[in-house]
Amino acid sequence: MKRDHGEKLYYRIGEVSRIVGVKPHVIRYWEQEFKLKPRRGAGSQRRYTKEDMERLLTIKRLLYEEGFTIAGAKRRLREMAREGGYRKLMQELIDELKEIRDILD
């Protein structure tokens, strides 16, 4: 299945392996360690989304480029998720305050 602009919605593990730059068995191992859950297609084939690949690329960067251990990478991913949640909350508060300011002006 493809999107209108040619980007695929789902990728098979071989495609993800080439894009991310690690072997399929590494991806399967990371699925277990980092609790990734790609969708399953016909015959239980893994089907990865772009978001799945972004997460795999982040894991690869943490492990291979930044030198984190598996446990350290897990902690960093949790921190990143919290930071993202805080940023979203802060942006929502800023937007609400701007709306209130506009109403008062």
Cut 0.85: pTM above it: no
pLDDT tens for residues 56-85? 999 999 999 999 999 999 999 999 888 887
Q: Is the pLDDT of residue 95 over 60?
A: yes
Closest CA to 35 of 77, 84, 88, 64: 77
Average pLDDT (47-56) is 93
User: Where would I find the beta strands (DSSP E) of the chain?
Assistant: 39-40, 46-47
Q: What pLDDT is recorded for position 5?
A: 43
Burial class (CB in 10 A: 0-12, 13-18, 19+), 14: exposed
Q: Which of 76, 88, 27, 90 is nearest to 53 (CA)?
A: 27
DSSP element (H, E) containing 50: helix 50-60
Confidence (pLDDT) at 1: 45
Strand, helix or coil for residue 1:
coil
